[in-house]
Amino acid sequence: MRTITDFSSNYDGDPIRYFNFGDLDNGNENLVFHYGISSANSNVDNDKFNIFLDLEEPSSSLHLYPREFENKFSLVLSICPYYTEFVNRRFSQNSAKRECVFFPFNRKDIPSHGEKINEVIYTGQMNGTGIEEILEILSHFKNRVVSFGPNRFSTDVNVSYHQKLNLVSQSKISIIHNLIFPQSAHIEEIKKSDLYKENGAFSHLEDFIYPQLKSRTFEAAFCKTLMLVQKDPWNLIELYFKPGKDFIYFDGKDDLRLKINQILENYSEYQEMIENAFEKAINNYTTEDFYNQYILKYEK
């Protein structure tokens, strides 16, 4: 496998910058793995087997599917099971084959699992349905809120990727959601194509949400912090972790407050769950596991 990357359209702390799939390069020039948003624009050698990794779906540009650039790739790996099914079914004749994948994590980036000095942490998007309510609840605990830009709830703004991982590792509970919160303009873009009705990712547009598997899910597991996960109509986390064994759901702001208090009062009782999630992650969801599961079979 040879790798081609272009991170010019990825933000500075994007986890994709730290996958380092090039470390797994075995010298085989017949398979080329392209990742990074702008790698979609890469020139390809049609004599090779070219794979593109898409970690951005679902997309509000549904009316542009099938995307023209996909024709040059032999395979597209997507984190969205709904787009994978939709594109394979609808555009199988004029788009690359798709396969649904997890969000990999480089085991070299696992931080030290030291003292849990924070009670709860949230990392990521600040705006969206219910996010402000979640952050207001977290403000009543010893919390860290990691964001790209300033927000009245933020404690850490625009930190590096490894600083973020350290903060997660130092926290007892990590608040997880796997959702996108589109604006009205994005929904209008999606509805430009009647095909949105056939795509399960868009079954709840009236609630201004659609699903997207987030890196924070896997980061929390690798950092040995308890995953407290917002329940939603899709629950993508269950493709990779088991509720009640690897993580806990919350459903609404009142339940979130109740669950945080219960966990903090009985934190030692959740150590087995934290270890379960870590063991599942370290044995199944590293970049090496990603290569072995999704790429190795195409090596020639």
C-alpha to C-alpha distances, 263 to 165, 174, 203, 250, 296, nearest whole angstrom: 21, 12, 33, 12, 41
C-alpha to C-alpha distances, 296 to 25, 28, 200, nearest whole angstrom: 11, 11, 29
Residues of the chain with pLDDT > 70, as a percent, come to: 100
Number of H helices, E strands in the chain: 8, 13
Residue 247 · residue 238 · CB < 8 Å = no
Of 3.10.20.30, 3.40.50.11540, 3.90.226.10, 3.40.50.2000, the CATH number of 108-178+213-284 is 3.40.50.2000
C-alpha to C-alpha distances, 48 to 30, 31, 44, 106, nearest whole angstrom: 5, 6, 8, 26
Domain ranges of the chain: 2-104+285-298, 108-178+213-284
Instruction: Indicate the pLDDT class of residue 300, thresholds 50, 70 and 90.
Output: confident
Instruction: Indicate the pLDDT class of residue 169, thresholds 50, 70 and 90.
Output: very high
Over residues 89-104, the pLDDT tens digits come to: 998 876 779 999 999 9
β-pairing, 171-176 with 226-230?
parallel
DSSP annotation of 97: E
β-pairing, 75-78 with 210-211?
unpaired
Query: What mean pLDDT value characterizes the chain?
Result: 95
pLDDT at position 95: 72
Preceding peptide of 58 cis, ω within 30°: yes
Over residues 96-137, the pLDDT tens digits come to: 799 999 999 999 999 999 899 999 999 998 888 789 999 999
